[in-house]
Structure 1
């Protein structure tokens, strides 16, 4: 990319096509933390760019024409992704004292909400082996998280070296990849819901229990928040690299809609 002109790549064939489609800008997909720059180059992450254009041409046609250039290895349209989106009691002893745990039929379905008994993930026996470890970081790619939620506040990942040096200024608990800022506060509740299913503190006498939410002795897995659904959607590719660079070993992507890539 030519620094003084963000519309140009410096490759004549690419720039001619960009002129044809009235390209507004070319931006690198992945922001590179200087600590991991060599690793990113080794895997070719510095070669990925997002192209913005205002032509009325069909996006699939544009992607096809770029992909036919010998200098372009792959080009594809960026699809938009959209998320989809009263306490009961059981006559049995539950593992934890979280008041809404009996409502979580997907853990242990006895037909308590009118569903099919046994249609669940059979979680309770698994809790005999593990209720989640703080050594595990789970990245949730969604609409953000309620940073003050009492059932989640102990499960928030804490960045040991937050930006700006790493390219993400103020990324204490994660990053807003949709708006490229540190505001990860959930305004939709879907991300908070998903994070709670994973890591809501179990056995604390409030709310629900997470699959890996720890126990009475302490919290379970840590939740790293990657907000990609905000007033605009985006930043999905960068969110995966950020998670891997910062220790996340699991990525939860609870999305719906769109078509195949």
Structure 2
């Protein structure tokens, strides 16, 4: 995926934890601790000068600066050092929840030739900075394919026809499409689209310059039973487009976060994001947290990098991480419904990311849908799978508008048709979407519950398994000797992870069955997966 990565809310060192990923040159998202933004420091310093305390008067006598003034001077020095062009606050659209998460969060635009690592390191050294991250670029998840496939096999395999006997949707349900925009005048979208708002630089209103968003919108809500083109999961719905991917199918972190915030402010109850990146972002994660806290179900694509070569859209150098939803953002965030892609024969799509983050699967190969300005196209990708699930979420809300995001997620994933290994697995999640079973669960009021494992544990395993012959497994499971191949030799110098990032990278390999790289790998594999 292109540039984004899901992230924890705690700040960590950029240089140590991030593989350089595509970002807008010279642009950064900076969040200050309360009272530590330049404007707040300047106001406090000015107030202190007007009514100086005894301590401040003593500092003045000896020509010393107050801590506030010192921090302010450090920030101003960095602004000068890197040639600051502009600063703007990240828009929250007056949402109380978002304002709490994004208080004192700003978009800094520096000279485009600045060294990203240097800027990050300098700001991280200032105590009043809560976090800084590049303004990452995210891309649409789409793979080139034959445009002439005209069968809506996806609707049939998810049992949409049976579900439509109960509901075909409702205009009262709003669904936000954070993508390349929606072609609002498309004959199969016009009646079900309220607007398409340009959120990113160069993104126009009420049209779609990238085609991707309109295709996604058609699967969610192309008008049904109108003798025209295709039918979406919802024959009736109210969609809002938020154009954030306008530069060749890519968009910045700031634009996407603003798009999510605006979608929440506009009252959408479902948001679809068929996009992603490889960089974990606190800003992006906070936007999603705010969405779920506001009662919005967020559905995202798992990513298209499984078994794919390293490229701009699949940038990670480690092939196991590259094809994993656990290292794709926003797919890896626990607040979203991460969707893998399946074929018409219920097989995993060749490109569909796998991982502990996968919640559910849906049709994603040769999916026909609406295409600007007024035609139709068949394309493939987890981008096409995600709107099947987002559309399903909207249909469930047409039956019961009071469902919480957790109830919607459980109704969808816990009634899915199990594919692959029995129960949840990393390829299909809980299984392929079965819309009829999901809507039956909602209508009956008997919604089952189930959970997705999610990301690997954040605490690294012991760096020294020790020589005991019955070392406890670190996360439960069978107790095994840490170095079975070396035990007879009395040699316990196993290769061990050095930090949490190494562990996560290696764990991604363990779960694919790669256990031959060292005895330590075999130890981990048995401890976790037996």
Q: Same fold (TM over 0.5)?
A: yes
Matches within 5 A, 1:151-170: 151-157=188-194
Q: How many Å separate the matches in 2 of 1:61 and 1:107?
A: 50
Shift of residue 127 of structure 1? Answer: 2.4
Select 2:177's aligned residue among 129, 134, 140.
Answer: 140
1:240 Cα deviation (Å)? 1.4
The answer to whether residue 250 in structure 2 is matched with residue 228 in structure 1 is no
1:175 equivalent to 2:197? Answer yes
Q: Judging by fraction of residues, say which structure has more strand.
A: 2
Work out whether residues 60 and 77 of structure 1, in 8 Å CA contact, stay in contact via their aligned partners in 2. no
Cα shift at 1:80: 0.7
> Which of 24, 35, 47 is matched with 2:104 structurally?
47
For this pair of structures, how many residues does the alignment match?
A: 205
Deviation digits for residues 133-184 of structure 1 (CA, Å, limit 9, x no counterpart): 2111111011111121111110012xxxxxxxxxxxxxxx242111377623
For 1:194 and 1:41, locate their aligned partners in 2 and report how far apart those are by CA, in whole Å: 26
Task: Identify the residue that residue 112 of structure 1 maps to in structure 2.
Answer: none
Structure 2: gaps (5+ residues) = 1-37, 43-71, 282-530
Partner of 1:184: 206
Aligned equivalents of 2:234, 2:103: Cα separation in 1: 35
Change (3 A) 1:179 1:56: closer
Question: Residue 253 of structure 1 aligns with which residue?
Answer: 273
More helix by percentage: 2
- Structure 1 residues 256 and 24: alpha-carbon distance in aligned structure 2, compared to 1, 3 A threshold: same
Partner of 1:50, secondary structure, is strand
Q: 1:183 to 1:51 in 2, by over 3 A?
A: same
State the match for 2:352 in structure 1: none
Q: 1:30, 1:48 within 8 Å by CA — same for their partners in 2?
A: no
| TM-score of the two chains, using structure 1 as the length reference | 0.69
Larger CA Rg, structure 1 vs 2: 2
1:206 maps onto 2:267 in alignment: no
2:259: which partner in 1? 239
TM-aligned CA distance change 1:243 to 1:87, over 3 Å = same
SS of residue in 1 equivalent to 2:79: helix
Which digits, 9 at most, give the CA deviation of each residue in 1:183-216, with x for residues without a partner?
2311221111000010001111111110122xxx
| Distance apart, 1:65 and its partner CA | 2.9
- Paired residue for 1:131? 168
**Cα distance between partner residues in 2 of 1:72 and 1:181:** 31
User: Deviation of residue 14 (structure 1)?
Assistant: 2.0
1:21 equivalenced with 2:82 (yes/no): yes
The secondary structure found in structure 2 opposite 1:251 is: strand
Partner of 2:175: helix, strand, or coil? strand
Q: TM-score, normalised by structure 2?
A: 0.36
* RMSD of aligned alpha carbons: 2.6
